[in-house]
């Protein structure tokens, strides 16, 4: 590969130019994706050299101004690096055939910046899902893939062009070889950044900030909203409000709401539940800018969970932004929930690991959960887990069983500290219940956990003092 990496899969899309009908079809797919994303731009530039023929066809068919980026300036004439007619301040859409690191798109963007052009979006036929989207997002460029590598593997597997072992080996390689690490400062404006230099192993383990992840082009809208809340409130704390009266739960929501990003409920333990209660809870979530997470743990066939989610006495879909589910029933459980939740802009977490001693949600089961999430990413946006299980920055990891003092109880619950969960295990959100509910001053305890969780996050980013 261009970056020197030895990969179990190599794609040479340059040969597409030798097949005119295929090249026309690929160009049509790219333009359809441009329209679907409703991208705004004044001109188009293909990354040299493989994407330039694709850009030419698209621009010719749809009457779009095209620019050509040179890899080297002519030693005669105008001596310019960009050919074509353009005005300073115009926005240029970049087209690419394949992305691994995103460096070729960034190189093209930097040439365009020097000519006074803006670049806000790029579109690529195939994203290898090895860090290109995140790297470009950190530079202010949204990358829009027509198809991702994981989706492509599913297509090849279904068509029996590869076997399950090969697909598994490639997935494992991709997850283990993310090429992007966060620069010390990610606030550079377009055109002022430079290509990311090779990092040390420690730096390679760093992650995008919550704010940068919220801007990723393929992120679930609810995940983006949650990450923005976390960044704005400097809180990665979810309080588990395991109380039995509506009045006490609403008091918690009102008093702790300013310090949390999520409030987790167990609605079926409330002894005086009414639908009026849910309206008040929604109003408090709006007032204090947090999301509601009903810890329902759906685990039945699709038709049953569909009715459990939208109907019954709780009508969960009408008031809870987020729900979770076990993957044991297979894809049907997600499809049933999605049929109700997607039209309401809801989202789902899959339970990949649990914080109880002797849990069977480990190993191959956890990997199966990860695969299901990738296949259902239009509704699933993250996991309940003990540690980070996916390197895709679009997925959010939430870890229960958190207390400042690690340990356990007499019923098998295992507690881990905020620093261990966020800084060492790579999770994004700490879920705290008894550590706050059992405190003499719940507001003070909440602030202590908020501060501990945020400090662990900034330490993970290498930005202490943020």
CA distance 379 to 48: 36
CA distance 412 to 228: 34
Of 67, 70, 109, 108, nearest in space to 86 by CA: 67
Q: Residue 44: phi, psi to the nearest 5?
A: -130, 140
Q: Residue 464: phi, psi to the nearest 5?
A: -60, 140
Is residue 42 flagged as an active site residue? no
How many beta carbons lie within 10 A of that of residue 133, not counting itself? 29
Is residue 295 flagged as an active site residue? yes
Is residue 300 flagged as an active site residue? yes
* Cα 371 to the center of its chain, rounded Å: 15
- Matching residue, tokens 């002797």: 358
Write down the catalytic residue from 151, 215, 297, 451.
297
DSSP 414-455: EEB-HHIIIIIS--SEEEESHHHHTSSSHHHHHHHHHHHHHH
Strands 396-399 and 429-432: parallel
Write down the catalytic residue from 199, 225, 300, 459.
300
449: left (phi over 0), alpha (psi -120 to 50) or beta: alpha
Alpha helices for 257-330 (secondary structure H): 275-288, 302-310
Write down the catalytic residue from 97, 295, 306, 388.
295
CA distance 207 to 236: 15
Instruction: List 419's β-bridge partners, or say none.
Output: none
Is residue 321 within 8 A of residue 348, CB to CB? The reply is: no
CA distance 54 to 61: 11
CA distance 433 to 402: 8
The residues, ordered by sequence, that sit 6+ positions from 440 with a Cβ below 8 Å of its Cβ are: none
Active site residues: 295, 297, 300
């Amino acid at each position: 590969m261009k970056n020197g990496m030895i990969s179990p899969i190599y794609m040479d899309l340059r040969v597409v130019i030798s097949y005119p009908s295929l090249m026309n079809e690929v160009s049509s797919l790219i333009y359809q994706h441009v329209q679907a994303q409703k991208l705004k731009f004044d001109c188009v530039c293909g990354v040299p050299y493989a994407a330039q023929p694709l850009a030419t066809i698209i621009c010719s068919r749809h009457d779009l101004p095209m620019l050509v980026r040179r890899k080297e300036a002519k030693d005669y004439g105008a001596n310019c690096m960009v050919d074509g007619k353009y005005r300073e301040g115009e926005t240029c859409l970049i087209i690419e055939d394949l992305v691994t690191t995103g460096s070729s798109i960034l190189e093209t963007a930097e040439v365009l910046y020097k000519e006074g052009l803006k670049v806000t979006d790029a579109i690529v036929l195939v994203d290898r899902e090895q860090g290109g989207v995140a790297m470009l997002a950190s530079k202010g460029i949204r990358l829009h893939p027509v198809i991702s590598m994981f989706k492509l593997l599913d297509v090849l597997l279904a068509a029996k062009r590869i076997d399950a072992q090969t697909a598994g080996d490639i997935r494992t390689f991709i997850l283990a070889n993310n090429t992007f690490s966060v620069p010390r400062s990610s606030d550079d404006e377009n055109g002022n950044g430079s290509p990311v230099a090779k990092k040390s192993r420690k730096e390679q383990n760093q992650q995008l900030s919550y704010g940068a992840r919220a801007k990723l082009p393929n992120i679930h809208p609810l995940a983006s909203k949650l990450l923005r809340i976390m960044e704005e409130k400097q809180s990665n704390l979810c309080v588990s409000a395991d109380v039995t009266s509506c009045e006490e739960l609403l008091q918690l929501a009102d008093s702790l709401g300013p310090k949390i990003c999520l409030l987790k409920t167990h609605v079926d333990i409330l002894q005086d539940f009414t639908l009026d209660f849910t309206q008040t809870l929604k109003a408090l979530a709006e007032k204090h800018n947090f999301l509601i997470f009903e810890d329902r743990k759906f685990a039945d066939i699709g038709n049953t969970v569909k009715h459990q989610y939208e109907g019954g006495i709780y009508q969960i879909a009408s008031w809870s932004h987020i729900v979770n589910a076990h993957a044991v029933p297979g894809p049907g459980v997600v499809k049933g929930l999605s049929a109700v939740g997607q039209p309401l802009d809801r989202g789902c977490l899959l339970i990949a690991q649990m914080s109880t001693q002797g849990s069977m949600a480990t190993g191959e089961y956890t990997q199966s959960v990860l695969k299901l999430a990738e296949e259902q990413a239009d509704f699933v946006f993250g996991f309940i887990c003990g540690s980070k299980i996916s390197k895709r920055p679009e997925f959010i990891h939430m870890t229960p069983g958190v207390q400042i003092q690690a340990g356990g109880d007499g019923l098998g619950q295992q507690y881990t500290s905020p620093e261990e969960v966020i800084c060492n295990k790579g999770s994004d959100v700490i879920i705290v219940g008894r550590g706050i509910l059992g405190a003499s001053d719940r507001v003070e305890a909440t602030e202590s956990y908020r501060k501990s969780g945020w400090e662990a996050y900034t330490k993970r980013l290498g930005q202490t003092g943020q």
